[in-house]
Amino acid sequence: MSRAIRSAPGRRKRLLFLSNLFPDERQPVFGLDNANVLHGLSEDWDISVIALRPSLKAYLPLRGTLPYLPRKEDEALTPSFLRVPYIPKFGDRWNHRLYADSIRPVLKRARSREEDAPDVILCSWLYPDATALVQAFEPSPPSSRSHPPVVLIAQGSDVHQYLLRPIRKRLILNTIASTRVRAVVTRSRNLADQLQSAGAPPGKLHPIYNGVAPEFFREIPQLAAREQLDLPVQGLICLFVGNLLPVKNPLFLIEAFEEAFRDVSPPAQLLMIGSGPLRAAIEQRVRDRGLGDRVHLLGSLPPQTVALYFRAADLFCLSSWNEGFPNVILEAMASRRPIVSTSVGGIPELINCAQLGTLVPPGDLSAYAAALRRALDAPADADLETRIREASPDLSRTTATLAYHRLLESALA
C-alpha cells in the first residue's frame, strides 16, 4: 500500500475481525474475500481474527482442541476458531443471543489487555454475527471507552434473503442503527439500496467492491493456458465458477448450454469449478443427457488454477437466481473474458456495456441459450481483450484495500 496512507509514527492501530466467513484448511475458499481484505490491511494494521464456527455440537462438551487449522497463507493473521451454538432453520429468535454469550468473554479478555485491545472491530455477516457482536457489548453504554467502534460488512444473502424474514430484518436494522456501528460496507450498490429501502440510515452505507489480485490473472495467452490444462485447442469453452447450490442454478446452465450448442462442431465444452450439495444431481443430469464428453465437473481448485481456467475459456457463465456481487464476475473481467449472466443483484452495476457481456432475466432459458449462441457466432475479434480492459473499472485489491483503510480510519476519527 502507498506510504501516503500509512499510520502515523508510533503504535500501529489494532483491528479485530470477527465472522463465521473466514477460511480454514478444510474450507480454503470459505470467506476468502474477507481473508484477502485482511491481508491487504495488514501492512498498516495489527490484525487478529476470531473465526466463528456455528454448530449444534457447540452444546456438547468440547474434548481437545477445535478441529480447525488456518490455511498456510493466513497463519500470519493468527486466527483463533471459536465454536458457537447455532440452531438451524428455527433459531431466528435465539441464535444471535447464543452467539453473543459465546463472544462476550472473548471480547472481554481482548479489551482487558491494553497490548491486545482492538482500536476498531470489523465484522462480516449481518445476522447473527454482527447482531451478536453488538449485543455482546451490552449493557456498557455506547460511549464507553472500553468499546471500540464497529464496522460491518454486508456480504449478499444476509441482505437480499434475510430482509425477507421479519425477525432477522428487525434485528439487522436495529444493529445497523446502533450508535456502536459507525459504518456498513456493502459489496455492491444494490445491497446498499436494499438496506436503505428497508430503513437503514443511508449515511452508514458504503459500497466497496472486492478486489482481485492482478498477479493471478496475468496475460497468459489462451492457447498456452489450454495446453497447460490439457484442454482442447479447438472449440468454444464456457466456464462456470461457484458453489453448486440451488441459488446458483447450475442445472439451468447445463440445460441452456445443451440448447445452445447441441449440434456444434467441434463440440463446445462447459467446465464447472466448485463443489456443493447439487453435485450428485448435476452428475446425474449430465449422464441422462449424454453430455459426459462436454460438461466437466472439476471440483474446488486453488485460486491460481482457477485463474488459469479463466484465461483458457472463451466465455464466463453465471446463472444465479440471486447474488450480492460475486467475485467471479470481477475475476472474469480481470481475465478479459466476456460474460453471460443473469441480471441479478449488483451485477448490472459493472456489466453495463456490450463489450463486457450480456445479461438476461433469471430463469429465461431461451434468452440465455441465445446469448451463449451469439458468443459462438461472433466473428473473431483480435481487439476484444483490449476493449474489455478499457471498459472495466479499476478492480485491483489495492484500490479495495485503500477504501477499507479510509473507512476504518474514519470510524476512529
- For residue 342, the cross-strand partners are 360
Which segments in the chain show pLDDT lower than 70?
A: 1-10, 57-66, 114-115, 139-146, 218, 378-383
Spatial contact of 336 and 385, defined as CB atoms under 8 Å apart: yes
**CA distance linking residue 264 with residue 272, whole number of Å:** 19
What pLDDT is attached to residue 66? Answer: 61
State residue 403's pLDDT score. Answer: 96
**What is the SS3 assignment for 334?**
helix
Where exactly are the structural domains of the chain? 3-211+396-412, 222-391
- Given a contact cutoff of 8 angstroms between Cβ atoms, the answer to whether 278 and 246 are in contact is yes
Three-state DSSP class for residue 285: helix
> In this predicted model, what pLDDT tens digit does every residue of 267-293 receive, in sequence order?
999 999 999 999 999 999 999 999 999
Can you give the pLDDT at residue 8?
Answer: 47
Superfamily covering domain 222-391: Glycogen Phosphorylase B; (3.40.50.2000)
Q: What is the pLDDT of residue 141?
A: 53
- Please report, to the nearest 10 degrees, the dihedral formed by the alpha carbons of residues 325, 330, 331, 334 taken in order: 180
DSSP code string of 96-151: HHHHHHHHHHHHHHHHHSTTT--SEEEEE-IIIIIHHHHHHTTTS-TT-TTS--EE
Q: Residue 85 and residue 62: Cα distance in Å, rounded?
A: 12
State how far the Cα of 257 lies from the Cα of 236, in Å rounded to an integer.
11
CA–CA separation, 13 vs 147, rounded Å?
15
Instruction: Please tell me whether the overall predicted TM-score, pTM, comes out greater than 0.75 for this model.
Output: yes
pLDDT at 2 (0 to 100): 39
Class of the CATH domain delimited by 3-211+396-412: alpha beta
**pLDDT tens across 115-155, in order?**
678 999 999 999 999 999 999 987 655 544 557 999 999 99
Torsion, Cα of 117, 120, 123, 129 (10° steps): 50
Grouping H, G, I as helix, E, B as strand and the rest as coil, residue 256 is helix
Say what the pLDDT of residue 382 is: 57
Give bridge partners of residue 201 from the DSSP assignment: none
Question: Is-same-fold flag (3-211+396-412; 222-391)?
Answer: yes
Q: Give the torsion sign (CA, 244, 249, 253, 255).
A: positive
